[in-house]
Structure formats: C-alpha cells, structure tokens
Structure 1
C-alpha cells in the first residue's frame, strides 16, 4: 500500500510541476494575458506544430520524444524533465518526514514561488492561482480546526485591503487598486484565520518596505507586492501550524 501511495504522490507532484511550468511560461512569454492564451493546446515554440498528448505527459513525454520536437527536431530544454523529477522526489521525502500535512505545505510553497516569479516578471498575480488557493484554505483549515475563523480571515483580508486601496486612491486621485494583491491576501486570510491576520498584515508591510526601498532608491515607481505577501504568508502559516 505504501508503494502505491508513494507512486501516486510522485506522479501527482510531477503533474502539478508540469502545470506550474506551463502557466509560468505562458504568463511570462505572451504579450496578452487573455484567458484564450492559457486554454489553447501546447505547441512547439519553433515550428508552432501542435504537440501530441503523449508528449505532454510529465517525465514520460520527455522520454518518449527523446528531448526533441517530433516535427522540427529542436531540443526541448532539460529543465522541464529535471524540475518534474527533482520536485516530485522532494515531495516523497517531505511525505516520509512530515506526512500529508507537510506535502500540503510543500505544494503551497511551490504555488507561492510561481506567483512571486510571475508578479516580478509581469506585474500580475493570476487568478488561476489565487482562487483555488483561497477555496482550498477555507475548506482544508475549516475542516481541520472546525472553526469559522478562516472564512472570517478571508473576508478580513478582502475588505481591509480593498477599502485601504480605495481610500488611498481617493486621497491620491489615482487608481492604486491591485486586484491580484487583494486576491492573494484574501487567500492568505483563508489559511491563517482572523486571529493571525494582524500579525500577517504587519509582517507583510515590513517585508514590503524592506523590499521596496532599493526600487525607490533607483527611482522605480512600481514595486511588486507579491513576493512580500507570499513570504509573509508562509512565515505566518508555519508559525500557525507549529504553535
């Protein structure tokens, strides 16, 4: 039974990593972030030929294609195979040491790293990440602790940040509302609960000030907030789960 559990976990993690790689690549490389860019079938970057489904499968697809496009023979970066294998193996280690709860935290780290990378590169936090993140937090944490605190935490994150941004927009006479940041903070609230939101807001604010200072000194007006929110989220969640 353990072998089945480990194999299932390995392949599920490889599929998740493949999905994250696909989303990151499309967000970073396409000019438009319209939904149609993310639901169309995969194709070779060089010859634009559609990739058959057997070659899209994590790990197996790379081996079947021998690391090349079957149409134009261009090399497929080894990064995809290595990331799927290494991160899937790391998931097995996390499961062995910390059980499924540790794996859940591990998956959360991977998603937040993906969000951070996209926000830095494209100044956007995709809803394709934040909506499932918020829903999974409410369901998982509410069932685990039998508390409404996590629903209230999500509501607190949403309304507090939204009203703050509306107020700042009114004072500065310009739109400073960042929907992605609001969605990510709402997601954090769904995992942390209402009790931990003050600590999260304070810690995230401090991290953002430290992160934004070099940007402002270089004359940059915009600083992505995703990295600060993600790090504050992980630190607070780790403390919440440990204590």
Structure 2
C-alpha cells in the first residue's frame, strides 16, 4: 500500500523528467550551432516544419508519428525519445534517493540535466560548450551555498579550483608524454563544474571513476575496431558518469573504502 501511495508521485516525477529531456534535446542540437534554445519552437531538423502540440509530447509524440516527420516523412532520430526516457528515469532515481529533500532533489535534477546535455554534445561534436560548463559551475556554487552556507561556498570554490588545476596538469603531462593533447580544454572546465557540485573529496573520486571507465571504454572500443590507438575519444561522457556515481553514492563508496582498508 505504501508503494501504491507513492505511485502518483513517481509518475509525475517521470513526466517532469521526460519533459526536461525533451528540452535537453533542443539544447544538445542548438547550442553547438549557436542557435537560441528558446526560439523558434520545436521543428523538424530536416524540413523546418513546426511541430504541433500533440506531436511534441515527450516519448508519445515520437511514437504517435512512428518516428517520422508528419510533413516531409523523413525519419526522426530514435535518440529523441531515448533522451526523454533516460532523463525521466534519472529524475526518478534522484527522487528515490533523496525524496522530499527539496533543495537536494531539485539541485541534482539540475546537475544531471547539465551532465547529460554536456555528455551528448561531447559525443556529437567533441566539444564541451562554455555556456553549459560555466553556468553549471555557478549553479554548483549556489547549490552548495544553499545547502551549507559560507562553508559550502568555500568548499565549492576550492573544489572548482582543484578541478581545473588538476585536469590542466593532466593535460600538460599527457602532452609531454605522448606528444599530443591528452584532454581538451573543455574537460578542465567540466572538472571545475564537478568540483563546485561535489567538493574536492568527491571530485577526486569522480575523476578516478571517469579515468577508470574511460580506460575500459577506450580499450573495448579499440578492441572492437571502433577507434584507433591515437584517435581522440570524447571524455566528457565518462566525466559525467563519474560525477553522477559520486553524487549519488560517493559518500558510501568512500566510507566503505576507508572501513575496508583502514579499520
């Protein structure tokens, strides 16, 4: 009965998340193109046809159109409903984790939305736009200030500075060791954003997880022939995933590690 009582809340959270996911699709497409994310309204990327309200409903609109524009009949990428679904599920996960802790829940909804948009843009364009990393950094500082006051702001700024310095050092070291850039400049700016949201301790965990996941992902991609050994690979998605894991379960991971090795 308790689960049934919370079912309407979970449905509303998923619907909210999928609506945000629909907006993220716009962000991911338009920001790299230098276009406004607010105007014009959603339209077919092939023929420019303006979508009707019923065609623009998250997930259901794509299913209703059977994945094709109603005007030009060109295929609409399945990534649109996938992003909407994933965003809805992420909102549910955060709500399940933090419940009615409004500041934390809403804050992490914002963080995960930024991370998802940045990851997708990096996959598409191998860039991490300043508009998103800088605004995400500011939001992280505000979030920590609301959560913990002045000490939270100091911790966020410390984490941001450590993040950009640490990744700049990694980039410099990689350039000296391998004769080519190990990371793009956007990665360091994303690391600063990560530090603002997570603080310096969880930033280190997120960076470690990102490197571990990136190494595994790169090895698999090379083994399958998707990448050559010296071909650049977007690192933003791994940073985003490491940040998400650290935000949700970082405290537990760190405490478990310390307990296991130092108790």
- Specify which of 189, 198, 215 is matched with residue 192 of structure 1: 198
Closer/same/farther in 2, CA of residues 130 and 8 from structure 1, 3 Å limit: farther
Task: Write out per-residue CA displacement over residues 140-198 of structure 1, whole angstroms, 9 at most, x where no aligned residue.
Answer: 02321232111100011012211331343345444445022112211111111123333
Provide TM-score, normalisation by structure 2. Answer: 0.65
| 8 A contact 2:156–2:199 mirrored in 1 | yes
| 8 A contact 1:149–1:195 mirrored in 2 | no
Determine if the alignment matches structure 1 residue 230 to structure 2 residue 240: yes
Q: Write the distance in 2 (CA, Å) between the matches of 1:234 and 1:89.
A: 13
- Specify which of 232, 235, 239 is matched with residue 249 of structure 2: 239
Task: Write out per-residue CA displacement over residues 3-38 of structure 1, whole angstroms, 9 at most, x where no aligned residue.
Answer: xx99996775454212112233457xxxxx441486
Partner residue in 1 for 2:34: 35
Partner residue in 2 for 1:30: none
- Give the SS at the match of 2:128: coil
- Specify which of 157, 164, 182 is matched with residue 151 of structure 1: 157
- Give the SS at the match of 1:124: coil
Question: Aligned-pair RMSD on alpha carbons?
Answer: 4.3
Task: Write out per-residue CA displacement over residues 197-225 of structure 1, whole angstroms, 9 at most, x where no aligned residue.
Answer: 33333333222222222234443322321
> Which structure 2 residues correspond to residues 131-210 of structure 1 after superposition, within 5 A?
131-146=134-149, 147=151, 148-170=154-176, 172-210=178-216
- Give the SS at the match of 1:223: coil
- Give the SS at the match of 1:193: helix
Can you give the 5+ residue segments of structure 2 that lack an aligned partner in the other structure? Answer: 1-8, 256-263
Provide TM-score, normalisation by structure 1. Answer: 0.69
| 8 A contact 2:98–2:105 mirrored in 1 | yes
Closer/same/farther in 2, CA of residues 169 and 56 from structure 1, 3 Å limit: farther
Determine if the alignment matches structure 1 residue 98 to structure 2 residue 98: yes
